[in-house]
Structure 1
């Protein structure tokens, strides 16, 4: 029996071929992340978003006596985090992480991919999930919302898909990339109407916790805070872990605009839309989901380590979502992404290499850049007929 047959035999065993074991692993990862990282500074910020809205305090100024850094999520996040903010801190953190892991688990299970592929995605992303959960960031939920938006569009539930995109956008802006699926929406008028309606609801929703004047003012402050943060991220050691950051940090140059990379990236991202004859193939549409999940991380100065749960999920979808057999080079690229992107922050990776090369030069992004470029080539040249 060769190595490929052995791997297939291993994958068929109940431990690796059922949802229950991986569901338990994800739940344990959430609880472990909560216990190991408590008190969690990020979750402390999130809890206070609710309480600051409730008390009418500024959302985007430092509170050094309570936590480090500042909040960068939209005012509607106060409503999202409210059920967890009113709990005792440790209980709230555990429930917060379990809720995000559970949402992503449900989203992965709903992907229009064969069962074996969905289970593979869940196992492949398990380590990166733990990394993201340890930071308690909303990125896990963003990954889930993007997948659910795609799935709901595929199922013809345009109104609910619009809600997923609106929530992601009003909390962290990342969700707006879900509009990339618009060309696959069957009832476009209904979708746009729902998107407008949900946007109004989410804009007004935090006003239930505070005054309209206060909330409107905080939306303005949010825009200012994001602008300041974008400038601060350019050379930040643990921020801008993206294609943009990798190029800037390796070159050491500060005298150019990121638009020199973003504009060609957008053009390359959009080119597969020209292949109208491929729209009818679900696998082709699924690759747009993978592309979106990679693009939003690789072309954002706000990308950080916890955001790679979005990109790694995109890598896994890229690998299992096509109708042809993956080559050895594809397998090598997948393993490269797992090792360098997912495991480099762990104790299994040489610390000297991680601290002297991976962090300073944002090399966590490198495998995902290679996968995205390979994906773009495939989407422009391959036939996705099953």
Structure 2
């Protein structure tokens, strides 16, 4: 066995790599100078996203509106659920350097072990998946966001569904929804499994628990106010930007100014078409590709998608590639994803190329769109043959 294969097959080595990513990114952000997000604007910490999460907890305890600007404290709005705000107090009560580090460690560890929780992949293939997403993981972690956590929870959802552990599966899926609402797309995975009644009542149970959890600290009036304010924020957020998404790609590449709702509906219809192959539900490769489709769809059709969001999509690309028998077309798409999605925001690309071409033309999303298109073809007409396990 070569040294690289030994590395891929050793869970402790990969755990050390992911922990190093989390700690490095945390310390880099913590010790970086203040920065501004708009020209001539206020200066905030380099770990502004963590501050937003942290302050949401204190705003919650103080009975404030979580969903308005606090420009003296943070450089953007809080957009997650009231439940997330109160749970983040676990980190927010700590000194920033410790809370930030543990928050990032939680993200990388959940994704790491969710990959190991996947059934029917050999340990070397799981190592390949983790190495492929490592650089994108660093990008996500440097921004202190929850995207790696979302990706990991969706993978845990799938692994639990495969094991018919429906209480765990529904807990993980509902958790994603109460972090970022787009996790609701994962409900499509339920169609692939038996005992829909159990899936329904376990999910309903966790929805109730996650919804009413803020009542441990606020009265009914404030509870209703917070959910109304959150709903208003989400509804008004729809038209703000095109993001690194299908919408942004259509506008910058082809000059098409399309209604976002229409594009999302078209994407949803394409996503659902493979689900008509009910007889394919018994095929594990079909099921894992549907998971990969969820992971990519929630990013490329998200008009608010940013570079750190792509850890979710890149995880989907890795699952799509390593779940099937390799082909030349798939390998080319994998390499395009590595170069233009994962590496294009890094210093491997000169700054003028990033600023003049990569960012304005949302190049980062294009390989993921191509992979998702190929994935829909695979789900509809592909042979769906699993990758051979390594001895």
| Partner SS for 1:59 | coil
Q: Determine if the alignment matches structure 1 residue 277 to structure 2 residue 279.
A: yes
Contact preservation (8 Å) 1:62, 1:70: yes
Partner of 2:42: none
Tell me how far 1:11 sits from its aligned partner: 4.1
Within 2, Cα distance between the matches of 1:381 and 1:251?
29
Distance 1:224-1:66 versus aligned 2 partners, 3 A rule: same
Residues 197-208 of structure 1 aligned to structure 2 (within 5 Å): 197-208=205-216
Deviations 1:65-101 (CA, angstroms, capped at 9, x unpaired) = 1111110111111233121011011110000000111
- Match of residue 259, structure 1, among 249, 258, 261: 261
Partner of 2:159: 151
Deviations 1:33-82 (CA, angstroms, capped at 9, x unpaired) = 11111241000000011111111111011111111111011111123312
| Partner SS for 2:82 | coil
| Partner SS for 1:225 | helix
Tell me how far 1:229 sits from its aligned partner: 2.2
| Partner SS for 1:233 | coil
Residues 204-353 of structure 1 aligned to structure 2 (within 5 Å): 204-234=212-242, 240-254=243-257, 256-322=258-324, 324=325, 326-353=326-353
Residues 67-216 of structure 1 aligned to structure 2 (within 5 Å): 67-112=74-119, 113-216=121-224
Within 2, Cα distance between the matches of 1:151 and 1:19?
18
Partner of 2:34: none
Distance 1:385-1:279 versus aligned 2 partners, 3 A rule: farther
Contact preservation (8 Å) 1:45, 1:67: yes
Within 1, Cα distance between the matches of 2:4 and 2:245?
32
Partner of 2:382: 382
Partner of 2:56: 49
The unaligned stretches of length 5 or more in structure 1 are: 1-7, 235-239
| Partner SS for 1:279 | helix
Task: Calculate the TM-score normalised by the size of structure 2.
Answer: 0.91
Contact preservation (8 Å) 1:170, 1:202: yes
Within 2, Cα distance between the matches of 1:195 and 1:367?
34
| Partner SS for 2:238 | helix
Partner of 2:68: 61
| Partner SS for 1:375 | helix
Deviations 1:279-332 (CA, angstroms, capped at 9, x unpaired) = 11111100000000000101111211111000000000000012x2x1222212
Deviations 1:336-370 (CA, angstroms, capped at 9, x unpaired) = 10111011111111222211111112111000001
Within 2, Cα distance between the matches of 1:312 and 1:137?
16
The unaligned stretches of length 5 or more in structure 2 are: 31-44, 387-391
Within 2, Cα distance between the matches of 1:89 and 1:356?
35
Partner of 1:15: 7
Within 2, Cα distance between the matches of 1:231 and 1:202?
28
